[in-house]
Amino acid sequence: MALNNTQYDAIIREYEDKQTRNRHLLEERTAEVYAKVDGYRTLCESISTISVMQGKKLLDGDAHALTDLHSEIQNLISMKNQLLVSAGYPADYLEPVYDCPNCKDTGYIKGAKCHCFKQKVIDILYEQSGIQELLKRENFSVLSYQYYEGEDLERFQNTVNACRNFIKTFDSDYHNLFFYGTVGTGKSFLSECIAKELIEKGCSVIYSSSVKLFETLSVNIYDYKSKSVYSDSNADLYGCDLLIIDDLGTEYSRNVNPAILFSLLNERHINRKSTIISTNLSLEDFRNLYSDRIFSRISNQYSIYKFTGPDIRMIKKRLQNRK
């Protein structure tokens, strides 16, 4: 699972807190039963006494000691349960308490992460991605080809297949995607579909608009005193399994420095961390807007897919207004 040390430690502390809380709950329940159920404590103490006695017999060579011990303990347990039920308590009232009975609140089963641990990781990754609510609406389950025709449809189908292959081979192959084309043709949608699938597989995904990305990367970058803070706060952008940059080009009205983008893309490439970029710009406009070395990096290191067709968002909006 793609967690940093701080995130992993936080999950482990949460499990430790659960164990402590549930242990205290069991202690409180035990004290309550001892105080309210006559004879219960005596039966508990009898189990300990009998265990010691039978243990001595076993050491003395009594071959029936273990069998006798098991029989006597089962009889005492049955008597304890009867006392609890008679006093109005559930028979399992003093059984160990666990939030997750499968792993007994350790997070692991025979060295493998429990389903509850995996879910915690996924929850963290969703929160980290920044698009948790969006992915509930935008994912492969709502994929539709009905808005495309002819060459537009063929392009979109080929790109969908490429996206599915990107997901399938993500753990074994390093590759990047570059989506370009007109507004509302499915670029962001397919990026979001990929994000959801990979988060569910336990990969760390960060989804950011280009405006937000440049704002984040630019904060205190030239302030020497803030270098360490800058490095820590942006570590996820450089180190996450998948970075999705949406609507690249819209940030240019804010007088940004392209060198910041090149540094990010270059560092991620060196570390073989995948990136998906979407833009409404044509390839020619993209090349004119950014430096030649950024365009060269995209051309050589990214699989490029063109999106064409109607503005699906506008079509959906018109249909909604008619209702």
Strands (E), the chain: 108-109, 112-113, 177-181, 205-209, 242-246, 274-279, 303-307
- Alpha-carbon distance of 254 to 247, in angstroms, equals 14
Instruction: Judge whether residue 272 has pLDDT over 50.
Output: yes
**Sign, Cα dihedral of 221, 225, 227, 233:** negative
The larger pLDDT score, comparing residue 323 to residue 9, is at: 9
In the three-class reduction of DSSP (H, G, I as helix; E, B as strand; rest coil), residue 186 is classed as coil
What is this structure's pTM?
Answer: 0.68
pLDDT at 28: 96
Contact 305, 179 (CB under 8 A): yes
Strands (E), 175-240: 177-181, 205-209
The CATH number of the domain covering residues in 130-322 = 3.40.50.300
The pair of structure tokens assigned to 297 is 């990096």
Please give the backbone phi and psi of residue 144, each rounded to the nearest 5 degrees, phi first: -140, 145
60-112 pLDDT tens trace? 666 666 776 677 778 888 888 899 999 999 988 999 999 999 999 999 999 98
Buried b (16+ CB within 10 A) or exposed e, 232-252: eebeebbbbbbbbbbbbbebe
Looking at residues 188-195, what average pLDDT do you find?
94
In the three-class reduction of DSSP (H, G, I as helix; E, B as strand; rest coil), residue 136 is classed as helix
Integer-rounded Cα Rg, in Å, for the chain is: 30
Instruction: Judge whether residue 322 has pLDDT over 80.
Output: no
Q: Which residue has the tokens 């950014």?
A: 290
pLDDT at 68: 66
- Pairing mode, if any, of strands 303-307 and 177-181? parallel
Contact 128, 206 (CB under 8 A): yes
Mean pLDDT of the chain: 85
Instruction: Judge whether residue 252 has pLDDT over 70.
Output: no
- Alpha-carbon distance of 190 to 245, in angstroms, equals 13
pLDDT band at residue 52 using 50, 70 and 90 as cut-offs: low
pLDDT at 121: 85
Instruction: Judge whether residue 115 has pLDDT over 90.
Output: no
pLDDT band at residue 217 using 50, 70 and 90 as cut-offs: confident
pLDDT at 54: 62
Instruction: Judge whether residue 13 has pLDDT over 90.
Output: yes
161-187 pLDDT tens trace? 999 999 999 999 999 999 999 999 999
pLDDT band at residue 229 using 50, 70 and 90 as cut-offs: very low
pLDDT band at residue 1 using 50, 70 and 90 as cut-offs: very low
Instruction: Judge whether residue 236 has pLDDT over 50.
Output: yes
119-161 pLDDT tens trace? 888 788 777 776 777 777 888 999 999 989 999 999 999 999 9
Q: What percent of the chain has pLDDT over 90?
A: 49
Alpha helices (runs of H) in 37-91, residue ranges in sequence order: 40-59, 65-86
In the three-class reduction of DSSP (H, G, I as helix; E, B as strand; rest coil), residue 21 is classed as helix
Contact 181, 307 (CB under 8 A): yes
pLDDT at 181: 94
- Alpha-carbon distance of 38 to 44, in angstroms, equals 12
- How many residues can be counted in the chain? 323
